[in-house]
Amino acid sequence: MVDLANLRDPVVIAAFEGWNDAAEAATGAVDHLVDEWDAELVTAIDPEDYYDFQVNRPQVGLDEDGVRRLTWPTTRIYLARPDDTGRDVLLIRGIEPNMRWRAFSRELLEIVDESNAQIVVVLGALLADSPHTRPIPVSATSSDPELTASWSLEASTYEGPTGITGVFADLCTTLGVPSVSIWSAIPHYIAGTPCPKASLALLGKIEALLDLAIPEGDLPELSRAWQRGADELSEEDPEVAEYVQSLEEQRDTADLPEATGEAIAAEFERYLRRRNKNHPSD
């Protein structure tokens, strides 16, 4: 395992597949950082205690040498040492566990503690009544009063069901490690495919908060391609076009409610209602 004891002003950025990751926006952002910063795999969580393999099945495939490999679903921790940032970044890229969430979070916190990281950033994405033709709404909240004041964040006011992002952030706070939750709001009517536009918005928020230079790579072009696809969908379906227009009017006449923690929480509650309606057995 890589020695984490002497990192440069380290920060942790985490994202998890599943309930917290609409349109793969959060994990897409971390995947981008892993690739752009050529991050080194530090360790992986033993999946045996945390995943139901009938829900998250192992994958069989050929590696770059043509050898057949079995890959188990798990959570991996990478270390990036970008030369132009002056700090090192631990990247946690995982899957929401099926069981033993507290033990799972404690394992991650042991790694955070070993690295002496002073801040943990947790990424998430939810479905929202937001038009694809406008910038993706992003909200940053924290339960840490000092961090909320110094970074001008929204205080976390959401009440209701949470995912592993909420559990992990709460345990960080309990153990005295400040955490920030950054969420993007995905247009719910076009959430069936990955949304690079939302990943780019999340990375922009990280860059602004941490004063951390982040290479955009091919994300801008992928975002434009996503935008063109969403425009085509809207143009081909009059009902979708009318709905998008109504969302645009709401967005343009409102005083940026999507930028507040309360509005994001309200969108999250609408997302839960929509999800429960579409998946009543969940």
pLDDT band at 92 (very low <50, low <70, confident <90, very high): very high
Tokens of 165: 């992002």
pLDDT higher than 60, residue 256: no
| Domain 10-218 CATH class label | alpha beta
Give the Å distances, CA to CA, from 182 to 39, 108, 177, 228, 278.
Answer: 22, 19, 16, 26, 26
pLDDT band at 112 (very low <50, low <70, confident <90, very high): very high
Predicted local distance difference test score (pLDDT) of residue 192: 82
pLDDT higher than 50, residue 257: no
pLDDT band at 255 (very low <50, low <70, confident <90, very high): very low
Q: Specify which residues 43 forms β-bridges with.
A: 77
Rounded mean pLDDT, 2-27: 92
pLDDT band at 97 (very low <50, low <70, confident <90, very high): very high
Do strands 89-95 and 11-17 pair parallel, antiparallel, or not at all (unpaired)? parallel
Give the H or E element holding residue 278.
helix 261-278
- Tell me the Ramachandran region of residue 60: left when phi exceeds 0, alpha when psi lies from -120 to 50, beta otherwise: beta
* CA atoms of 79 and 218, how far apart (whole Å): 21
In the block, tokens 């921790």 appear at: 77
pLDDT digits (tens, 9 = 90+) for 41-89: 999 999 999 999 999 999 999 888 889 999 999 999 999 999 877 899 9
Average pLDDT along the chain: 88
Calculate what percentage of the chain has a pLDDT beyond 70. Answer: 89
pLDDT band at 262 (very low <50, low <70, confident <90, very high): low
In the block, tokens 């999340």 appear at: 202
pLDDT digits (tens, 9 = 90+) for 167-185: 999 999 888 889 999 999 9
pLDDT higher than 50, residue 228: yes
**Could you tell me if 91 and 78 are in contact, meaning their C-beta atoms sit under 8 angstroms apart?**
yes
Predicted local distance difference test score (pLDDT) of residue 263: 58
pLDDT band at 3 (very low <50, low <70, confident <90, very high): confident
Predicted local distance difference test score (pLDDT) of residue 150: 87
State the first-to-last Cα distance of the chain, in angstroms, to the nearest integer. 38
Parse the chain into domains and list their residue ranges: 10-218, 237-281
